[in-house]
Structure 1
Amino acid sequence: MAEPSTTAPVVVVGGGLAAGTVVTELREGGYDGPIAVYTDEAHPPYERPPLSKDFMLDKGPLSDALVHPEDWYAQHRVDLHTSTPVTAIDPARHTITAAGNEATYSSLVLATGSRARHLPSADDSGAEVHYLRQWDDAERLRAALTEGSRLALIGGGWIGLEIASAARKHGVDVVILEMAPQPLHAVLGDEVAGHFADLHRAHGVDLRTGVELGAIRSTPDGVEIEVDGDAVSVDRLVVGIGAVPDVSLAEAAGLTVDRQSGGVRTDSRLRTSAADVYAAGDVANADHPVLGRPLRVEHWDTAIQHGKVVAANLLGQDTQHDALPYFFTDQYDLGMEYVGNPGPAGFDRVVVRGTPDARDESSDGGTWTAWWLRDGTIVAGMHVNDWDAIDDVRRLVGTRVDPDRLADERVPLGDL
């Protein structure tokens, strides 16, 4: 059995923000040893949010999503392997296999991310189906958003709603087909999810909830979808029904994987069940010391925080990942930030502070906050268009607050 060499590189597998953050933090933290990054895409590590936000709205090129320009890696002595998927890892021998070659690592970081969840009935229809997960997906979808065209979105989650917002900005007729009672229903609950539904309808989206999908067929003019027994005909179809963590390498190598909620299991320091192997970002199902349970999160901020924690531990700092989950969205002129995670136990009360406003297309959704409580404790909080509120949202999540005072706008958030 080969022993890990002290001169072997830290190897990072993945091309997303977690991977990019690990190598950045290592170099900025003074690590002077060799580093290698392997990604199966043709691009250096990049962030995912601009794919459905700024790039889709023509606010900037995709290159703005790069964690660093490609020449940064050579300048910082990071051996970057693009278009080079890792096909196997051997934790016992501390090796990876890529492009048919075996290489040794001192430490390994799995930042393999997630892949779009596919809908077989769409894929088998013969129609052109769009998913949005990678750089090339974004380029293809943006090219399809032409004024006057008609687009169907299956799924009313965050990605689906952001695509719908961008498509409407480009003059596309949009129909959203959502099986749940409301978009984002499982995350936000009836009342708050209803405000997002109102926002999209006010901007001309044909939002259909509680639908039952039937056959999907390719037609000479595009795509036909059976919805509640009727036919919906569109030019393009986008499927946005979530993502699946890419655990194939980890499973094949015998690492512990959570088969129920997904992801590679790690402790709070993001160490997997194999020595010198870490997991970060979407793929990590990590013990959370504050929430007291394992958690896997598919959001931008978690990728950054995980990257920092892994790098710190590689630098010998014994650091836990204890940040509460955070995410944001931009839809039309509405901006939102959310902190917390109710978890499997959910919430038993929602408090809305302020007045949501989605009367017409000129509205930005109003300025308000929402709070999810369980047994009197705030388990998640969100602001809409109230950018001064985020510090109070972070502070209040995890505390017990009188719901009546929480709802009373006369009581400053800073006094709660």
Structure 2
Amino acid sequence: MTHIVVIGAGQAGSSLVAKLRKDGFDGDITLIGAEPVVPYQRPPLSKAYLLGDMALERLFLRPESFYDDQKVTLKLGQPVTAIDRHGKTVHLGNEVIPYDLLVLTTGSDPRRLPASIGGDLDGVFVVRTLADVDAMAPMVGEGKRALIVGGGYIGLEAAAVATKLGVQVTLVEMADRILQRVAAPETSDFFRDLHTGHGVKILEGVGLEKLTGENGKVTGAVLADGTTLEVDFVVVGVGIAPSTQLAEMAGVILDNGIKTDAFGRTSDENIWAAGDCASFPYKGGRIRLESVPNAIDQAECVAGNLMGADVEYVPQPWFWSDQYDVKLQIAGLNTGYDRIITRKGDGNSVSFWYFKGDQLLAVDAMNDARNYMIGKRLIDAGKSPSPDVIADPATDMKALLKA
């Protein structure tokens, strides 16, 4: 009987084992997770969960009973120490688990500040795991002072929640503007205005020189321009990196993550990968997507291929972010854009449409679910209305789907 072992009990791992059983796989399944809790949602951790609006049990992707019912062996709180590709075994300390097929859904790890600039002080947090947020929660309260390092979506979401809880927030971004790596200046401007309107102090084009502390706990920060700040805690949101250490130690080929073919198979025919950790072919190049939708879709595609479906994974990228009363929804990938078209909606709703020449690449929609859905359907269908048509306030957007 075939034994499939899955390393990484996050969104991708949970989705993969559920899909295997749904599609009739009747072999043995083992799901291994380094954290001591059943697979859970990460996006609400730093939002609804930290705010106290979501109980722990509601974070769980599936109740623990699901895995028992589906005859999935869970090994939680047990980090894998090694993969023996030649012996086809996984090592958890002294325990050795044989596999026929192995799937790596190891996700990603937050980038941390080096200890040389105070990154190891107490009160310096990243936002990735349940344990991270549980450790930070007691610090987040009325009148506290926080420094957020990094003006990407992770940093901005942390700033929004901390501000809601009465924290005085200063956010520093080394680049010229927040969201510079991922969004157009128009989107940066929207979110800068949103945050400053809620009292967040945003410093752009300023790096962090070092954190300072007393008795091992962070108490301040020195910025690259000489500015000094007094702080009670620090949240580091400077990006994530694919978790590839196990694959690398096992000799699996890497390329901005664990390199897979279009079906999800790695350089070892018995090892597959999906989710944040996996890079795959896309439009003549290679990409890696860090999102919940990709983790689910790619994992389910790999599950099918483990059972012989032989289907290439074709992503339909979309993302979201919640900040204050604004829901940002993103469809497509904006890489290579050379023109932005703005469509104003009612109230504070607006959408920014990314074009490369006359090709529609992506849409950022703020509190504009209707135009987001239209943009997503156009992009998924490979349709590109004229930029001038998008720019015309009189355009019936829904009619573009029929063109």
AA in 2 matched with 1:300: V
Q: CA deviation at 1:145?
A: 0.9
AA in 2 matched with 1:152: L
Q: CA deviation at 1:67?
A: 1.4
Distance in 2 (CA, whole Å) between partners of 1:72 and 1:400 is 43
Distance in 2 (CA, whole Å) between partners of 1:122 and 1:25 is 45
Distance in 1 (CA, whole Å) between partners of 2:272 and 2:180 is 33
Q: 2:47 aligns with which of 41, 53, 57?
A: 53
Distance in 1 (CA, whole Å) between partners of 2:271 and 2:62 is 24
The residue number in structure 1 matching 2:295 is 303
- Identity, % of aligned pairs? 36
| Alignment partner of 1:413 is 2:403 | no
Q: CA deviation at 1:316?
A: 1.8
Answer whether contact 2:112 2:119 (CA < 8 A) is retained.
no
Distance in 2 (CA, whole Å) between partners of 1:109 and 1:255 is 12
| Alignment partner of 1:392 is 2:386 | no
The residue number in structure 2 matching 1:166 is 161
Q: CA deviation at 1:8?
A: 4.2
**SS at the partner of 2:82?**
strand
The residue number in structure 2 matching 1:250 is 247
| 1:74–1:160 CA distance, 2 compared to 1 (3 A) | same
Q: 2:145 aligns with which of 145, 150, 158?
A: 150
Q: Please, what TM-score do these two structures have when normalized by structure 2? A: 0.94
Q: Structure 1: which 5+ runs fail to align?
A: 1-6, 358-365
Distance in 2 (CA, whole Å) between partners of 1:127 and 1:104 is 40
More moved, 217-226 vs 333-342: 217-226
Q: CA deviation at 1:403?
A: 1.4
The residue number in structure 2 matching 1:371 is 353
| 1:75–1:307 CA distance, 2 compared to 1 (3 A) | same
AA in 2 matched with 1:379: L
Distance in 1 (CA, whole Å) between partners of 2:267 and 2:58 is 36
**SS at the partner of 2:199?**
coil
Q: How does 1:227-246 map to 2 (within 5 A)?
A: 227=223, 228-246=225-243
Distance in 2 (CA, whole Å) between partners of 1:196 and 1:98 is 44
The residue number in structure 1 matching 2:86 is 92
AA in 2 matched with 1:387: A
Answer whether contact 1:340 1:380 (CA < 8 A) is retained.
yes
Answer whether contact 1:17 1:304 (CA < 8 A) is retained.
yes
Q: How does 1:72-83 map to 2 (within 5 A)?
A: 72-83=66-77
| Alignment partner of 1:210 is 2:198 | no
Q: How does 1:212-291 map to 2 (within 5 A)?
A: 212-219=207-214, 222-227=218-223, 228-258=225-255, 262-288=256-282, 291=283
Deviations 1:128-169 (A, max 9, x none): 211111110011122221111111100011111111111111
| Alignment partner of 1:321 is 2:313 | yes
Deviations 1:322-365 (A, max 9, x none): 1221110110000011011133xx211111111697xxxxxxxx
Q: CA deviation at 1:105?
A: 0.9
| Alignment partner of 1:350 is 2:324 | no
Distance in 2 (CA, whole Å) between partners of 1:278 and 1:33 is 17
Distance in 2 (CA, whole Å) between partners of 1:136 and 1:165 is 20
Answer whether contact 2:118 2:211 (CA < 8 A) is retained.
no
Distance in 2 (CA, whole Å) between partners of 1:204 and 1:222 is 23
**SS at the partner of 1:148?**
coil
Q: 1:383 aligns with which of 339, 348, 365?
A: 365
More moved, 201-210 vs 373-382: 373-382
Distance in 2 (CA, whole Å) between partners of 1:123 and 1:83 is 28
Q: CA deviation at 1:214?
A: 1.5
AA in 2 matched with 1:114: S
Distance in 2 (CA, whole Å) between partners of 1:52 and 1:26 is 30
Q: CA deviation at 1:40?
A: 0.9
More moved, 101-110 vs 116-125: 116-125
Answer whether contact 2:123 2:232 (CA < 8 A) is retained.
no
CA RMSD between the two structures: 1.7
The residue number in structure 2 matching 1:128 is 123
Answer whether contact 1:383 1:393 (CA < 8 A) is retained.
no
AA in 2 matched with 1:97: H
Distance in 2 (CA, whole Å) between partners of 1:124 and 1:414 is 50
Aligned length: 395
Deviations 1:95-130 (A, max 9, x none): 211131222111111001111101114445634211
